[in-house]
Amino acid sequence: MRAVALVRSGMHLGLGTGSTSRHAILELGRKVAAGELAGLTCVATSQASGVLARSLGLDVGPLTPQPFDLAIDGADEISPQLDLIKGLGGALVREKLVEVQARRLVIIADHTKLVSRLGEKAPLPIEVLSFGVDSSLERLRRLGAVGELRRAGGEFYVTDNGNLIFDARFGAADLLGLERTLKGTLGVVETGLFLGMAERAFVAAPDGVRELVRPE
């Protein structure tokens, strides 16, 4: 895996969440077990990724202010500018907390995640407090949000942080403005907009893997 090939011994790594990130964690574990990498320290963006990484012998610790040399994660949508929508796996808050501290954020995905504009295919996940959720959703709807609370197995989906996720769609084209507005909305914990964060993406397609680099 080309993203894992960027990892060097002694690095401080951010480990993403989801099916593609799982493959990266498995490859990291294989390289450590084979003696190809050593001295790695990691922070996982979800309980599931943390459990997997520890089971493979990776050193997983808590989030501290220490910058990450590299973070590897998936994405639900990737724009031509390498802006992202993330959070369909439910870990958007921890992903953003980790990845904002990364010197390099590398995305791994398949070609179906490429879009001409964010929101083209996927909804925008918004993590909201469970307390007073109906009031928070009313505030979001007044901003033009259309969507519903995520469910899993007939129940509301609950994040590792004990919150709920509202999968929303907006007509807004000004993503930076939308992000600022949503972050200033009472009851909103975080959004799945990851703007200007990814350095590059490795995208698997039927004809091979493409490497995309964020425009200067």
The residues annotated with a catalytic role in the active site are 95
Contact 77, 120 (CB under 8 A): yes
CA pair distance 181, 199, nearest whole angstrom? 25
Angle 153-147-75 (CA atoms, 0-180°, nearest 5)? 75
Question: Would you say 126 and 110 are in contact if contact means Cβ atoms under 8 Å apart?
Answer: no
Q: What residues contact residue 58 under an 8 Å CB cut-off, 6+ apart?
A: 15, 25, 28, 29, 32, 40, 42
